Structure 1
Amino acid sequence: MDTATSPPSPDHWRFYRAVWRWHFYAGLFVLPFIAWLALTGAVYLYQKPIDRWVHHDLKVVEDPRHARTRPSAQIAAVTALTRGEVFRYTTPERRDGSVEIGVLEANGRREVYYVDPASARILGHLPDKGTFAGVVRRLHSLDLLGDYARALIEIAAGWAILLVLTGVYLWWPRGRKGGVSTVRGRPGQRLFWRDLHAVTGVWVGLVLLFLAVTGMPWSVVWGKQVNAWANGQDYGYPAGVRVQVPMSHQRLADASTPTWSLQQAQLPVSSLPHADHAPVDGHGGHAGHAGHEGHEGHGGGALGDLSAQPGSIGIDAALQRFDGLGLAPGYSVALPRGPMGVYTASVYPEDLAGQRVVHLDQYSGRVLLDMGYADYGALGRGLEWGINVHLGQEYGTVNRLFLLTACAAILMLCLSGAVMWWKRRPIGSMGVPALPRQQRTVAVVFALLCVGGALFPLVGASLLVVGVLDFIVSGGWGAVRQERD
């Protein structure tokens, strides 16, 4: 995937050939992944308006002006239709939005029921993460294929970083003017596609590098290790994510979809009330039976429900408490699981300043932990900012339009690279760029790449595999006759 119109000076030629060879390998392996990620990522940038359009009957209510029924009544309407356990209640982000109630069905599947908050009428249901946007996100991350696919994403992101860095080296002018900032030739010529690839790549390369790095937190090996490490440091995430407050073995991720920073977060524990000191609800009365609101006779289970524990303040009082704390609209509430469980509200709006997780004691309604973006350390804030920008959320419309343009440019980069390779490859050959004559040069370039690969274990392992294969096929990186374009 050459980007120059004439060879560099003799002093640079040997390194140029070695770098070009690895740039070719990186493009060969990663361009299909990059194209797929750019295409699905562009769609996901507009997940909310697309979901409102695709699932309008479920997500939008007809007349939002009516007074709203109590959350317990809405949950009772759902449990009247299903034998499953309610584990999550999500408030509408917009006034004309429906309430979303997550249920663990008897067969083990998780379903989301959409309810009109004014009438408690059930509008329908979908599998958890089964909306159009949910499917697109799973396609984007290859989550549908499990950890194996997530490993491929990690490798692809690392090779994308390699692709950008080697591409910048190949693009570097070295006294040339053509193919640096302008595109020469006509679409039928290889020169046109080479210049288009080079010019597009150098402008979109920085964005691609940013997306590759900020996409790494979701990777199966590197992401998990960095997440665990960040959660154990003061400059990472808040004390409550770790062990400075009494914690259970339950995790926030079991009942909700937390932001990346809270994937390791455990839940605090509620204090069991004494029989003669029943907790007081938000209206000044005793809450000994509040947990049974609209739910009589429905027993608790593995995920718990409103009536699982006598003495719980109940979902209505919990929602009142969360509203009083000023959480952004659209927050989700995970219901207590077991006698030590807590009510947990979490919300991750586009503005990072509104990101927040609050845990309430299920008996007293006392705030056990209230943490947000401002509570994170420098590392945590930096990682969360990068993730939010990657998702097109932090700067609203400007962020989305910028990334949409970048996705289009990345697709053009992939197309131009493929066309350029097709036009230059010899018939019956892969068209791998020839090795330089100096064997040591190839080894030095490979060693430098492996140093970078050490930062990302799966990427480093794949580099070693490709390097060994290249070494064997090329006859030990021996002297190879240079080919000129």
Structure 2
Amino acid sequence: MSASTIGRESTGAAVRSASDLYRAVWRWHFYAGLLVLPFMITLAITGALYLFHDEIDAIVYSDLKQVAVQENVARAAPSAMVAAAVAAHPGMAIKFTDPATPASSAEITVNTQNQGKLAVYVDPYTGKVLGSLPDRGTIMWTIRYLHSLKYFGSFARALIEIAGGWSVLLVGTGVYLWWPRSQTAGILSIRGTPKRRVFWRDTHAVTGVFVGFFIVFLAITGMPWSGVWGAKVNEWANGSNFGYPAGVRVAVPMSDEHLGHAAQTTWSLQQAQIPQASGHDHGATPIGLDAAVAIFNRLGLHSGYAVNIPIAPNGVYTGSVYPDDLSRQRVVHLDQYSGQPLIDMSFADYGPLAKGLEWGINVHLGQEFGLLNQLVLLAACIGIVALAVSAGIMWWKRRPAGSLGVPPMPADKRVFRGIIAILVVGGTIFPLVGVSLAIMLFLDWAYSRLFRSRSA
């Protein structure tokens, strides 16, 4: 064998190897898109709407949430507003939410016998009841539940977790396919017209490059809400110490109730247990809601905080607020008899992991950087929809008639070792994603065997 022949053989092997790797990546990019894109469209649309949840709710429910500002007029006492709400909707008041702005109404959550929990809105200046809605019954709460598929049970929420992991794989394989090799067109520019497939190919590639970072970021920062991974990491992150962040351990009696069950709270505090009041053992008199609100105001809780009203003799007043400014997040538990703060937690008390996750969640919700945060993520959501639509059109134009149009199998199966490595890594970090990768690898193998048997 001559030296020239050896050189040609090695060059040919290298070309075949690169071609096989490209085919393998393309094939799994196709599978990832097939699984993820329907979810991504739904998540992008609902997520884009929820970015502006406060603004949309303020418009839709302006008659309930907005009031005329009255200068030099004392606000009604919280207990008077609660009494008005209960008079209009008989039941037990369980939460009082302080008006977030001078033009905002107060919100009282009443647990009624026939209608369940109601959010009753009261004018803080006049004490007049403005109306009511089912608790968490606003349009934006509906959008939020659609975004997380909470309406469809735990299985559907598990699919969201799987889609999050596959979306990272989608971006990784997409960047590899996009990466400039010898071509210059279709990298950052779009060729042709919508009638041509190359137009949709370039639209998909260019859009994917610009929104790929946001897809990965939103997938990772959305994982804390997932049913399996999020719950396990939350449990691990809280560790011992009754689930509270490090540094706030205090010698007070603790109940078996978790903050995540009793009130809307941050991801980091879902497992935090609620302390118990002790004065009921000695016949002490509760301080009442008005005094508790006055204490919370004196402690400097950010406006718009919610107060959980104790319904048991050993219960506590829990004041909690989660404004856009992470540093102002705070949860304070007051003894309902003495009014003494039993536990006072803020963002500064969170551990490093919790701080990082909460920051990511805040950006994910469009809250950390104000309007700029909302607009950037809105553009990313629009880009994600464009990415999904262009992928569908491109596939439809490319696929052979009567076929699913799966990209060809690489000739050298050794390239799948990389896929198996991804499976192992993904399965270690995200168990549901790893299981789904294993199932997809098996289905791909079965599909290939079936295709070969039909072609024989």
Q: CA deviation at 1:432?
A: 0.3
Matches within 5 A, 1:125-164: 125-164=132-171
Is 2:15 the counterpart of 1:17?
Answer: no
In structure 1, the partner of 2:290 is 316
In structure 2, the partner of 1:369 is 343
Question: 432, 439, 449: which one pairs with 1:475?
Answer: 449
Matches within 5 A, 1:394-405: 394-405=368-379
Paired residues of 2:306 and 2:321 also in contact (CA < 8 A): yes
Question: 69, 86, 109: which one pairs with 1:79?
Answer: 86
Is 2:429 the counterpart of 1:455?
Answer: yes
Alpha-carbon distance in structure 1 between the residues aligned to 2:146 and 2:209: 28
Give the letter aligned to residue 64 of structure 2. Answer: L
Give the letter aligned to residue 16 of structure 2. Answer: P
Paired residues of 2:244 and 2:272 also in contact (CA < 8 A): no
Q: CA deviation at 1:246?
A: 3.2
Q: TM-score, normalised by structure 2?
A: 0.92
Matches within 5 A, 1:413-424: 413-424=387-398
Give the letter aligned to residue 288 of structure 2. Answer: G
Alpha-carbon distance in structure 2 between the residues aligned to 1:479 and 1:354: 64
Answer with 317-326 or 181-190: which moved more: 181-190
Question: 18, 35, 38: which one pairs with 2:41?
Answer: 35
Answer with 61-70 or 441-450: which moved more: 441-450
Paired residues of 1:435 and 1:442 also in contact (CA < 8 A): no
Give the letter aligned to residue 192 of structure 1. Answer: F
Q: CA deviation at 1:79?
A: 1.7
Residues 432/404 of structure 1: CA separation in 2 closer, same or farther (3 Å cut): same
Alpha-carbon distance in structure 2 between the residues aligned to 1:249 and 1:354: 27
Aligned residues with identical type, % of pairs: 55
Q: CA deviation at 1:114?
A: 0.5
Alpha-carbon distance in structure 1 between the residues aligned to 2:106 and 2:191: 56
Answer with 102-111 or 441-450: which moved more: 441-450
Alpha-carbon distance in structure 2 between the residues aligned to 1:453 and 1:173: 31
Is 2:340 the counterpart of 1:334?
Answer: no
Paired residues of 1:347 and 1:355 also in contact (CA < 8 A): yes
Residues 145/274 of structure 1: CA separation in 2 closer, same or farther (3 Å cut): closer
- Partner of 2:22, secondary structure, is helix
Residues 206/477 of structure 1: CA separation in 2 closer, same or farther (3 Å cut): farther
Is 2:109 the counterpart of 1:102?
Answer: yes
Alpha-carbon distance in structure 1 between the residues aligned to 2:221 and 2:84: 42
Give the letter aligned to residue 24 of structure 2. Answer: A
Alpha-carbon distance in structure 2 between the residues aligned to 1:207 and 1:328: 31
Is 2:250 the counterpart of 1:213?
Answer: no
- Partner of 1:474, secondary structure, is helix
Q: CA deviation at 1:476?
A: 8.5
Gap runs ≥5 in structure 1: 1-7, 279-310
Residues 275/27 of structure 1: CA separation in 2 closer, same or farther (3 Å cut): closer
Alpha-carbon distance in structure 2 between the residues aligned to 1:338 and 1:130: 27
Residues 454/472 of structure 1: CA separation in 2 closer, same or farther (3 Å cut): same
Give the letter aligned to residue 18 of structure 1. Answer: A
Paired residues of 1:82 and 1:105 also in contact (CA < 8 A): yes
Map Cα deviations across residues 2-53 of structure 1 (whole Å, 9 max, x no partner). Answer: xxxxxx9433111111111111011011101101111111111111111011
In structure 2, the partner of 1:301 is none
Alpha-carbon distance in structure 2 between the residues aligned to 1:121 and 1:86: 16
Alpha-carbon distance in structure 2 between the residues aligned to 1:252 and 1:445: 41
Alpha-carbon distance in structure 1 between the residues aligned to 2:275 and 2:451: 58
Residues 411/243 of structure 1: CA separation in 2 closer, same or farther (3 Å cut): farther
Alpha-carbon distance in structure 2 between the residues aligned to 1:380 and 1:77: 40
Answer with 63-72 or 82-91: which moved more: 63-72
Give the letter aligned to residue 212 of structure 1. Answer: A
Map Cα deviations across residues 85-112 of structure 1 (whole Å, 9 max, x no partner). Answer: 2111101111111110011121472111
Is 2:206 the counterpart of 1:199?
Answer: yes
Give the letter aligned to residue 128 of structure 2. Answer: R
Post-superposition, which runs of at least 4 consecutive aligned residues in structure 1 deviate over 4 A?
A: 240-245, 273-276, 476-481
Residues 239/444 of structure 1: CA separation in 2 closer, same or farther (3 Å cut): closer
In structure 2, the partner of 1:298 is none
Alpha-carbon distance in structure 1 between the residues aligned to 2:423 and 2:301: 46
Paired residues of 1:112 and 1:128 also in contact (CA < 8 A): yes
- Partner of 1:181, secondary structure, is coil
Residues 315/418 of structure 1: CA separation in 2 closer, same or farther (3 Å cut): same
Residues 421/324 of structure 1: CA separation in 2 closer, same or farther (3 Å cut): same
Paired residues of 2:48 and 2:381 also in contact (CA < 8 A): yes
Paired residues of 2:207 and 2:383 also in contact (CA < 8 A): yes
Gap runs ≥5 in structure 2: 1-13
In structure 1, the partner of 2:332 is 358
> How many residues in Structure 1 have an aligned counterpart in Structure 2?
440
Residues 158/326 of structure 1: CA separation in 2 closer, same or farther (3 Å cut): same
Alpha-carbon distance in structure 2 between the residues aligned to 1:31 and 1:273: 56
Give the letter aligned to residue 271 of structure 2. Answer: Q
Map Cα deviations across residues 412-440 of structure 1 (whole Å, 9 max, x no partner). Answer: 11111111111100011110001011122
- Partner of 2:158, secondary structure, is helix
Q: TM-score, normalised by structure 1?
A: 0.86
Residues 196/245 of structure 1: CA separation in 2 closer, same or farther (3 Å cut): farther
Q: Considering fraction of residues, name the structure with more helix.
A: 2
Q: CA deviation at 1:237?
A: 5.5
Paired residues of 1:471 and 1:477 also in contact (CA < 8 A): no
Give the letter aligned to residue 62 of structure 1. Answer: A
Map Cα deviations across residues 316-350 of structure 1 (whole Å, 9 max, x no partner). Answer: 00000000011111000011131211100100000
Paired residues of 1:153 and 1:219 also in contact (CA < 8 A): yes
Paired residues of 2:276 and 2:335 also in contact (CA < 8 A): yes
Paired residues of 1:242 and 1:265 also in contact (CA < 8 A): no
Q: CA deviation at 1:243?
A: 8.0
Map Cα deviations across residues 196-234 of structure 1 (whole Å, 9 max, x no partner). Answer: 111111111011100000000110100000001101179
Residues 448/252 of structure 1: CA separation in 2 closer, same or farther (3 Å cut): closer
Question: 379, 391, 399: which one pairs with 1:425?
Answer: 399
- Partner of 2:429, secondary structure, is coil
Map Cα deviations across residues 167-217 of structure 1 (whole Å, 9 max, x no partner). Answer: 111111123212222222222111111111111111110111000000001
- Partner of 2:403, secondary structure, is coil
Give the letter aligned to residue 42 of structure 1. Answer: A
- Partner of 1:24, secondary structure, is helix
Alpha-carbon distance in structure 2 between the residues aligned to 1:242 and 1:218: 26
Q: How large is the RMSD of aligned CA atoms in angstroms?
A: 2.2
Give the letter aligned to residue 387 of structure 1. Answer: I
Matches within 5 A, 1:37-76: 37-65=43-71, 66-76=73-83
Q: CA deviation at 1:247?
A: 1.6
In structure 1, the partner of 2:355 is 381
Residues 421/111 of structure 1: CA separation in 2 closer, same or farther (3 Å cut): same
Give the letter aligned to residue 439 of structure 1. Answer: K
Answer with 51-60 or 165-174: which moved more: 165-174
Alpha-carbon distance in structure 1 between the residues aligned to 2:279 and 2:228: 39
